[in-house]
Each structure stands twice: as structure tokens, then as C-alpha cells.
Amino acid sequence: MTTSAPADRTGRTGSATATPRAVLETHGVSKTFGVVRALRDVSLTLRAGEVHGLVGENGAGKSTLIKVLTGFHQPDSGALTLDGADVAFDSPRAAQGAGVCAVYQEINLIPERSVADNIFLCHEPKRFGILIDRKRMLERAADIVQRYRLAVDPAARLGSLGLGAQQMVAIARGVSLGARVLILDEPTSALSGAEVDVLFEVVDRLRAEGIALLFVSHRLSECYRLCDRFTVMRDGAVVRTGTPAELPRAALIAAMLGRESAGEHAWAERSGSADADATPALAVDHLQWGNRVRDVSLRVARKEIVGLAGLLGSGRTETFKTIFGAQKADGGEVDVAGRALTHANPARSIGRGLAFLSEDRRAEGIFPRLSVRENIVASLLPRISRFGFISRAKEAQVVRDSIERLGIKTAGPGALITTLSGGNQQKALIARCLSTRPTVLLLDDPTRGIDVGAKEEVHRVVQELAQEGLAVVVTSSEMEELLALTDRLVVLNEGATEGGMPTAGAHPDDVLAVLAGAGSDASADHGDGTA
């Protein structure tokens, strides 16, 4: 394997002054679906040994461009060239055969098969031309695993591995296909910090080997850590291309949004004030569930946004699900507006004024085969039905109000929810939560996998809801975002409340100090997270 050149602080290898050769290029590519022009005259160049960041809001055209590059869609006009020769991929398999491979956020592998089986799926080494040579397949898989220093057993069942390891196996599959171009589409969205570090090391090795990489992420810190160049898309067109030095964060965000932005986490100042002396809207005392939620206590007042902070595995999601009754608590108490919530289950919790938004939009949020309208009213049907018949007038009113209030961009209430961008799907799910008229809103990483512009809109909605009187508890995979949005943090560590702090003037290091038990004032706060 080619040895990587020394990396600078951002992780980008340097010292070479010559422009790397172009591997894959698009020239004036356009694509239209009905009346929607998804791509408009897009030109892009991916170079050998370079990580190229593709950034833009949801709906900017990134996914469509990736599907054109990988043969899922064919362009209406324009051309693709691979190593200077014109190419036309009529299927993803044709693109893979030419060395253009993609690794997606949702891992499309077979969990019941082994790591080696997945790496060489559909191109297994054969004996006598017909029999799979399992010994040679395991040896070749072991070579790839060792080459990229991946801590996985080629004979292990893929489903037994964590998401991070499965993501590495998907990348290893691309390598086994002889990838010259590797597209990484939101590869870190479900990974822990340690897993992200491993992924970055693998990307650096792939770059050193001369592979052209296209990196798509909504986490700008990752883009600046990895990418040598950026292409910014908006409304289906390329609006800027440049290096990180040429496109600092403020300029990049402004290009993405088509307007000036004060920064990645520049949301409106909170103007609401919680009533700390009133009965808490939500009180949780010594909540327990298995070994994932060991001892969680917190208080949330009306008009207050409280952040539930902690590392991956700290029990944030499990705490939300136990409060909501999606999993039965083993101990502890939950009070809503001063009344105990006993024998909790989702239906009972909704009736008592709780609403919960899952972090997993695809698996636990949207109903992909249903319309925007049906997704919004899914939790409301008992309230707008009589004798088993849904009141279409009430349904239409709720949906119309929700689309207008949250600014959901859709072709219409009858459109499939999957035709919406990720940010608009998320807003539809928030609309579903609000349709039940809750007093407490539990939001588990509501901006996961959506772009900067959609984040601003989601945060605007959350802040407005708090100002209107809701109590909000929220998590985020980005600590800076959590500090910018909330009034106060409750810090979890291994399923237990570790402490709390107000967020005004706080820094991510302050939260880490609590997690590390550094003896700060924050770590001496009450167990319920009140300062």
C-alpha cells in the first residue's frame, strides 16, 4: 500500500503542488423529473488522491447527482467522462464494473451473511468457474481488512457487528470491486466518535492510494477535516467550487443558503422564560430500565428547552423511550404536570400530553408508503374519527395548518412522504407530534442528517414552541448545536444523571469536564440537572 504523506492539522495530506489527474467528470449534466428540474448544467471534477466535499441543503440536488454518477439515473443532457473517455452507465452494476462505487448512510448489505460474503457479494472468487472458493475469499477479505487496519473478523456474521464496523465493510466492498471513485454519502451519521476516527483513517489511506473520493456530510466540521475541495450545490446547480481556504465556513454556509448567515449555529436568541417556581411540566425521578438507564432524574418547566447531553451510549435515546413508555421502566417515577404517569405506554403518554420524535426517521418515524397527510395525522386518528370514520374536514384542516405553520415544502398533502427532502420529512414528523397538542415534547436528535438551512428552520420551530408554553427536551449529536439551542443541559453518563448546567456562556469543554468528573461547579449540581 502506498504510504500517506504527512497530514496537517485538518488531516489533509499536503506537499504536492501538481494538480492531480481528473478521474471522473460531469459536463453540463441536467436531469428533470416531471416539472421538477433536479439538476441544472452540473459540471464536477473528481481527482485522483483527493477528497471532494459535496455540500448543499436537502433538495439541492446532491442525491440526484450521486445517482447519475452511479448509474441509477441517466442524465437528460450532458456527459460523463472516466479517465478522459466518455462513459454512459445504464445501471449501478455497470458503474461498479467501471470502478465507480458508493457507500450510503443506510448500509445495503446482508446482515445474516459473513463479512467476507458481503465484501465479495456477486463477484466471489471461483473454482472451476462455478464453485465459490471460500478459502481464497476469506484470505482476500483478510488481506483487505488488514490493509485498512479494520478490527473485524472476515468470518464473522455482519449483523453481529456495530454500525461503524458494518460501514467499514461497505467501504471494503468498494475496494474489492476495484474502485477508482468512491462516493461516501453521509457515512458518519450513525457512528460514534471513535468509529468516525477509524473511518477518517481509512479515508486518508484511500486518498494516499490515489482513489478519488466524493464525501457528502451535513457535519461541516467533518468536511473541513477531510476535504481538499468543495462543490456547493443549490437548487440543482453548482454555485461555488473552491478549497477550504477559499471557502471558510461563513462563506460556505452563505453559498448553501443563498443568503448571508451568521454562522453554523446562529439561531435566534431565546426570548421565552421558564417559570421555575411552577409545577414542572415534566418530572423524572430515578428512572431505570435494564443496564441502559440506571438512574436518571430531571425537571423541565413550561417554556424551557432542556438539552439531554452525553456521549454515544450514555442512554439518551433509551431515557426518552422509557419516559414515553415505548419500553417499560424497571423503576422510578414520571410525573406530567404534577400527576404520576403510571403503566406508561405510547398511547397513554400521548393522552397525558407527551410527544416523542425518534432519532431514526427512516425506521421509527415516517411511514414510507403513506402520504404527507397520512403521516401527519397518524397519531391523531382517534380524535378526528367518529364511529370508525375519519372526519376528512378535520383532517384537511390539521394538515393545512401544519404545512403552513412549519413551512413544509411538498407538492401537496397527497404526495408520498418519501418525495420530501430529509428536512421536510422531519418537519412533517414534528407536525405529527404537535397534532396531539402536547405539553411536553421529547426530540431525539431532531436535526440528524439534515442540512444547515433545515436545521435553522427546525430550531426556529422548537424555539417558537417553547415560547408558546411547551416544555422541550432535546438531544443532538453536535454539542455546539445543543448549547446554542437550549436553556440548560442535563448530562448523562452511562445511563445515569451526572450533573447539569445552564448553557449561557457554556463551552463544550465544560460538558466534557462534567463527564470526566473534573470537580467543576457543574458536576456538583443536583442530580436532576437543575443548576
User: What is d(CA 518, CA 529) in angstroms, rounded to the nearest whole number?
Assistant: 16
End-to-end CA distance of the chain: 54
118 pLDDT exceeds 50?
yes
Could you give the C-alpha distances from 203 to 18, 24, 96, in angstroms and in order?
Answer: 21, 18, 19
Tell me: pLDDT of 247 over 80: yes
Radius of gyration of the chain (CA): 25
Task: Calculate mean pLDDT across residues 196-216.
Answer: 90
pLDDT digits (tens, 9 = 90+) for 52-105: 999 987 678 998 999 999 999 999 999 999 999 999 999 998 998 899 988 886
Distance of CA 212 to the CA centre of its chain: 24
Half-sphere exposure of 301 (CA within 13 A, CB side): 16
513-525 confidence digits (pLDDT tens): 776 553 334 333 4
Q: Which domains does the chain have, with CATH numbers?
A: 24-108+164-257 (3.40.50.300), 282-524 (3.40.50.300)
Task: Read off the pLDDT of residues 381-396 as tens digits, 9 standing for 90 and up.
Answer: 877 788 788 888 888 9
274 vs 244, more confident: 244
pLDDT for the residue numbered 12: 47
For the chain, helix (H) and strand (E) counts, in that order, are: 16, 24
Section 409-427 average pLDDT: 88
Better pLDDT: 254 or 275: 254
